[in-house]
Amino acid sequence: MGARIGVLALQGDISEHIEAFKKAVRAFGSEDSVSVIPVRRPDEVLLLDALAIPGGESTTISRLIEKNNLYTPLVEFEGGIFATCAGMVVMARGVDDPRVHPLGLMDYKVIRNAFGRQRESFEADISITGLDHPFHAVFIRAPVAVHPGNGIKVLGTIPEGIIALEQDRFMALSFHPELGRDPRLHIRFLKNCGLL
Q: Any catalytic annotation for residue 85?
A: yes
Amino acid at 18: I
**Are residues 105 and 194 in contact, defined by beta-carbon separation less than 8 angstroms?**
no
> Which residue in 17, 176, 186, 193 is the catalytic one?
176
Distant-in-sequence, close-in-space partners of 14: CB < 8 Å, separation ≥ 6:
7, 8, 38, 54
Strands 109-111 and 50-53: unpaired
> Which residue in 166, 178, 186, 193 is the catalytic one?
178
**Are residues 25 and 70 in contact, defined by beta-carbon separation less than 8 angstroms?**
no
Q: How far apart are CA 85 and CA 52, in angstroms?
A: 11
> Which residue in 85, 166, 186, 193 is the catalytic one?
85
Q: How far apart are CA 89 and CA 136, in angstroms?
A: 21
Q: Catalytic residue numbers?
A: 85, 176, 178
